[in-house]
Structure 1
Amino acid sequence: MVRTPLTPEERQRGECLGALLRQARGERSMAEIAAAAGVSAETLRKIETGRAPTPAFFTVAALATALKLSLDDLSTACTQESTWPEQALSA
């Protein structure tokens, strides 16, 4: 199966998601959050750095739960063109 290349907007949303997760993680270790979410630390690293810009829904949901984030807030923050992590989680 050939995967369709991502659009610039999809890449930007992935970068925003990764930055939001990284910000929410704060001082907690990547391994701690990954374990709490039931994903590998490498998966979390790829999402946070934007190398996995379109993670599976259940991965995002598990990470949001581990970080006590609302999926609605993540979705809104990553679909608003002008919103970046600094403003998104403080709203």
Structure 2
Amino acid sequence: MENKNEVSAAANTDDNKEVRNEVYANGLTISNTFFDFCLQFKREFIYEGKDSSQHKDVDNEIIIRMSPQMAKAMKTLLEGNLDSYEKEYGSIPNFKNV
């Protein structure tokens, strides 16, 4: 079941436009200034080297900047989607290092 909620700062949006890019991210860094929020999505890889040591590579996938108002709207949408997800599938465990 896909739970799709949207918010847009634009008055006229074309919902029929094709999505141009889709990325997978398993890492995220968030920063902010007075004027905007910056979300840097990353993809982290852990692999074993020839000497059996573990290595980690990080690819920076995409950076999204948004106004504080849009960030707050995104927070509300994300909370609603997480609540719906947990009602349907059960509680999501927290990361240990967060």
Give the TM-score range, shorter chain. Answer: under 0.3
Instruction: Identify the structure with the greater strand proportion.
Output: 2
- The structure where helix makes up a greater share of residues is 1
Larger Rg: 2
TM-score by length of 2: 0.26
TM-score (norm 1): 0.27
